[in-house]
Amino acid sequence: ENLVANAVKFSHAGGHVRIYCEPSEDRRHGRVIVQDEGIGIPSDKLNYVFKRFFQIDTPDGTPLESGVGIGLSIVKQIVEAHDGKIEVESEVGKGSKFWFTLPLREG
């Protein structure tokens, strides 16, 4: 929920948020992707977005949605607790793409 809420929060009016899933090539992992066309994250901040209480100082976003900077760190903890991995790509002015990968069970 946090990844989607952030994508909506930092997207421009009329922008798109895409959510999709795909299997890995070996079909042993599944990947969930949340991609937006929002404000993006500066490259020098990407290494910090999963740190607890880290927030990017920006005037943009939905006015009634504030945060304290713990959402992404909690998402990371949950994903890692399930033997997964979370990553991000972003470009200022173009948007962000977050994805997490989890192992799939057989059967």
The residue assigned the tokens 């992992």 is 29
Answer for the pair 92, 40: CB distance below 8 angstroms, yes or no. Answer: yes
Given a cut of 50, whether residue 13 has pLDDT beyond it is yes
Domain boundaries, the chain: 2-103
What are the pLDDT digits (tens) for 53-81?
777 766 555 454 566 678 899 999 999 99
* Multiple choice CATH, 2-103, 3.30.70.1450, 3.30.230.30, 3.20.20.80, 3.30.565.10: 3.30.565.10
Of residues 54 and 37, more confidently modeled: 37
Separation of alpha carbons 70 and 52, rounded Å:
5
